[in-house]
Amino acid sequence: MFNSRFSFHLFSKYSDQNLKSHIQQLDNLALESSSTPSNALVITDASIKNNVATSISHIHVHNKPVVKTLHHAVNITSTEAELFTIRCSINQATIHDDISKIIIVTDSIHTTRKMFDLTSHPSQKHSAAILTELRAFFTQHQENSIKFWECPSRCK
pLDDT digits (tens, 9 = 90+) for 98-126: 899 999 998 888 878 877 777 766 677 77
The reported pTM is: 0.84
Between CA 47 and CA 44 the distance in angstroms is 10
| 52-71 pLDDT, tens digit each | 888 888 888 887 777 788 88
3-155, superfamily in CATH? Ribonuclease H-like superfamily/Ribonuclease H (3.30.420.10)
pLDDT value of residue 100: 92
| 77-103 pLDDT, tens digit each | 888 888 888 888 888 888 888 899 999
Write the single-letter amino acid at 63: N
pLDDT value of residue 15: 63
Q: Is 80 exceeded by the pLDDT of residue 132?
A: yes
pLDDT value of residue 67: 79
Q: Is 70 exceeded by the pLDDT of residue 2?
A: yes
Q: CB–CB of 94/133 below 8 Å?
A: yes
Between CA 58 and CA 19 the distance in angstroms is 23
Dihedral angle computed from the Cα positions of residues 76, 77, 80 and 83, in that order, rounded to the nearest 10 degrees: 130
Q: Is 70 exceeded by the pLDDT of residue 14?
A: no
Neighbours of 18 (CB within 10 A): 12
Q: Is 86 exposed, middle or buried (0-12, 13-18, 19+ CB in 10 A)?
A: buried
